[in-house]
Amino acid sequence: MADPRFFRVAGPFSLGQLADIAGAMLSKAADPDRLITDVAPIGTAGPSELGFLDNSRYLPALEASQAGACIIDPRYAPRAPETMDLLLTDAPYNGYAKVAQAFYPAAEIAGDIHGTAIVDPSARIGEGTRLGPYVVVAPRVKIGARCRIAAQVVIEEGVVIGDDTEIGPGASLSHCLVGNRCLLHPGVRVGNRGFGFSLDPEGYRDVPQIGRAIIEDDVEIGANSTIDRGSGPDTVVGAGSKIDNLVQIGHNVQIGRACVLVAQSGVAGSTILGDRVMLAAQAGVAGHLTLGQGARVAAKSGVMRDVAPKQTVCGIPAIPIKRFFRLVSIWHRQLKS
């Protein structure tokens, strides 16, 4: 059971309800009226709880599990204990996500402005929006309805934020437009001056960075990640994209829709990622490149050239992943000889 200090569980739900929610089929022997009280990891779930299996590494945990029920791909069903009821689906993780959202719905937050929040009179705050303690909202900012702005967030002049967006403690935003339903984690920095300067006899000369950072709808940005504003063009993070912790996005970068950038990855200035591009952890992409729709970059890789749509690349410098692993096996052969 999730720690009640942090989470409030809804339910119980019947197996039949849960199968509907998950878009899954109940196994034959299951009683659709049986009540399930919670979700839990398959290794620790008890007889009234529901687990899920999405990764074959955890088959031994499934076999030893006491869980009352499990959301599972039909091909793994034979490995489940006989007494376990099964919710069969070929997308068990998505089924689990739906069920877990039913057990743990987002908390309703009262829309109030804390007495210590400083809001410039020229700023506009939408209905139902919550501003936490010590939030600072500068002149001409617009924040939509039902946003949750946590303690000590700083929103600088002219920033526009849509509806239903959540911002974690200590984040700061400047020179940016943020869409609806975004989630910005603690310590996120959006709209910073980009790293732009020219060589000059007297040293480096800063190039004014006069673009914006545009964060479209449904974007998530992880803790302490940094998104610089454009130098003239805008920096853009496309709708539905997911950015993990400690990620760096340089100025003028254009990230398409539904991209995934895993922790500690980075994209250098003016590079364009098509829709659904994925950068695994600690990957880096050089500046002024284009990665086509659905391209993927393996963890720790360094991309120095354009990547074709749907291509997966790996290595430093990154090459098509099959070639990379062929190279690795050549190395292993060389080590043996």
Q: Rounded to 5 degrees, what are φ and ψ at 79?
A: -85, -10
Pick from 29, 63, 81, 93: which binds its own copies (CB under 8 A)?
A: 93
Kindly state whether residue 22 participates in binding its own copies, applying the rule CB under 8 A: no
**Among positions 77, 98, 128, 311, the unique one binding its own copies when judged by CB under 8 A:** 98
Which residues have C-beta within 8 Å of that of residue 131, sequence separation ≥ 6?
112, 113, 114, 117, 119, 125, 137, 149
CB of 292 to its own copies, least distance (A): 16
- Residue whose entry in the numeric block shows the structure tokens 């950015």: 243
Our CB check for its own copies shows the closer of 34 and 242 to be 242
**Quick check: 66 binds its own copies (CB under 8 A)?**
no
**Which one, of 255, 270, 254, lies nearest residue 194 by Cα?**
270
Give the separation between CA 288 and CA 274, rounded to whole angstroms: 13
55 counts as binding its own copies under rule CB under 8 A: yes
Among 168, 179, 274, 294, binds its own copies (CB under 8 A): 168
- Token pair belonging to 322: 């099959």
Task: Determine which residue in the list 46, 59, 66, 156 makes contact with its own copies, applying CB under 8 A.
Answer: 156
**In the complex, what is the shortest distance from the CB of residue 28 to its own copies, in angstroms, rounded to a whole number?**
26
Taking residue 243's Cβ as centre, other Cβ atoms within 10 Å add up to 28
* Residue 251 falls in the annotated catalytic set: yes
Give me the 272-301 binding string for its own copies, x by CB under 8 A, dash otherwise. Answer: ---------xx-x-x-x----------xx-
Residue 91 and residue 301: Cα distance in Å, rounded?
29
Q: Which of residues 307-336 bind its own copies (CB under 8 A)?
A: 315-317, 323, 326-328, 330-331, 334-335
Q: Which of 114, 175, 251, 332 is catalytic?
A: 251
Residue 146 sits in the site that holds its own copies (CB under 8 A) = no
Find the binding residues for its own copies in span 124-143 (CB under 8 A): 132-134, 136, 140
Q: Which is nearer to its own copies, 47 or 133 (CB)?
A: 133
Q: Select the span of 28-36, 62-70, 73-81, 261-269 touching its own copies (CB under 8 A).
A: 261-269
Instruction: Enumerate residues 221-250 that contact its own copies by CB under 8 A.
Output: 222-224, 226, 228, 232-233, 240, 242, 244-246, 248, 250
* 3-state percent helix, strand, coil for the chain, nearest multiple of 5: 15, 30, 55
Q: Strand pairing partners for 313? A: 297, 320
DSSP codes, 2-34: --TTT------EEHHHHHHHHT-EE-TT--TT-
- Span 171-200, contacts to its own copies by CB under 8 A: 172, 174-175, 183, 185-187, 189, 192-193, 195, 197-200
- Rounded Cα–Cα distance for residues 337 and 333 (Å): 6
DSSP classification of residue 113: B
Stretch that binds its own copies, among 12-20, 67-75, 122-130, 210-218 (CB under 8 A): 210-218
Both tokens assigned to 147: 């946003």
Q: Which residues are catalytic?
A: 251
